[in-house]
Structure 1
Amino acid sequence: MDPSLRSPNGFLSSLPDDDFELIRPYLRTVDLVQDSVLAEAGEKLPRIYFPHRGVISLVVNLARGERVQVAMIGRDSFFGSMSLLAGGDPVVLNSAAVLVPGAASVVEIDRVRAAAEQSPTFRSHVLRHALAIYVQSQQTAGCNAAHTVESRLARCLLQTHDLSGGNKLYITQESLAQMIGARRNSVSLVASTLQQADFIHYSRGHIEIIDLEGLKKTACECYGTVRSHYDKLVRPRGLP
């Protein structure tokens, strides 16, 4: 089967035919509704999500109620890789919510775990995707600690653009604050700065990226670093 016709999701399209057949009969499509919570940290994860469109945000919940994003998952990967690798019950390590609405293929986690146990190549694909998400979370931690709010917001907008595949993003101000670990008033000020520079158009949760190159010049090194790791580990052909 031509991988480009198999699925809009990068993980599924990159699987060898025999590996894809291990889970194909059990896949179904669901909507990813904006701000819906897919799982909370510490819960058992019943199913795996393979986005076609939209972006899933992995967040850390802090004691005072703050929620800070540590990684994003879009059409190039899937949510649940860490839970698959954990022994025993598949517990969620980070809470997950829909950042950008879209659609995804879903399958029960036991089906994917059985496929990984049956096929070494399937298991290798899972490991590489888990490693890519781990590297992204590590880079995000360093970025939030060392770089300016402006460069962090530019980085996150570029990553969201890459993962969702579109210039028009529907992201609330609260979600933007979670993305970069900043207060909402800081996000509003920086978004206004990017808009004045004609890099984006920003209005009440609607963001249109106008100048990708301008954003890239504003973003910190972390955007290129994460993208380079994904290129080496998991990015399938055909995705920008």
Structure 2
Amino acid sequence: MKKKVVVSIILFIFLMIVILFMYSYFRHDNKSSINNKNVYVKNKPTELSNDFSSFIIELDNDMYQMPICVSELIENGWKIEEKYIDISVDPNDLWNVTFTKNIYAITLSAKNYSEKVRSINECYITTIDIMKESNVPIIQLPYGIQLGMKREKFENVINRMKYDEEKHYNEIYYTFNLRTKDILQYIDITVDNEKDEITEILIYCDPFWAKSRKK
């Protein structure tokens, strides 16, 4: 009887050691995957271009090229809303995350391009959709296009560009389809007929769109 008790105790201790080892291993592995270098590297832009396909934008007086790493926004003073700070994002997952800076608040879509779990700071902004409101920052596209730009000036700028136009009630939608075989990207600009100005800008740029679809 005593022998069986001793054997049971030894087996229990052995099992606990195995469990602790596995816990330590997977915890370390997950931490390593999050701390790996970003998978998408690009040069930081210094000025706006005259080319929509560059996807260079100016947001609150700082230059970015989409897709934008979340850490770039943080470096320039943007803060992630508290409920999103500690989330881990699975490969190819997309999260809508709210950022704040001074009086501004914007919700952007962030995607994990890595094949491993990442923190939200290491994800990339693929979608920006901003409407003209009092608490949104100044955003500029190539050619100086921005919210509040008058329709006449805007149409003079895009006069020689290729785009699709759709009218719906009091709004006109201008879609610039910049998609390639492997990259899904476009810019939608909305003009309010009554206000006679740009009231919404949507930018979508996903350079790994085809790769994520195959998975």
TM-score by length of 2: 0.27
The TM-score, its normalising length taken from structure 1, stands at: 0.25
Going by fraction, where is strand more abundant, 1 or 2?
2
More helix by share: 1
Which structure: larger Rg? 2
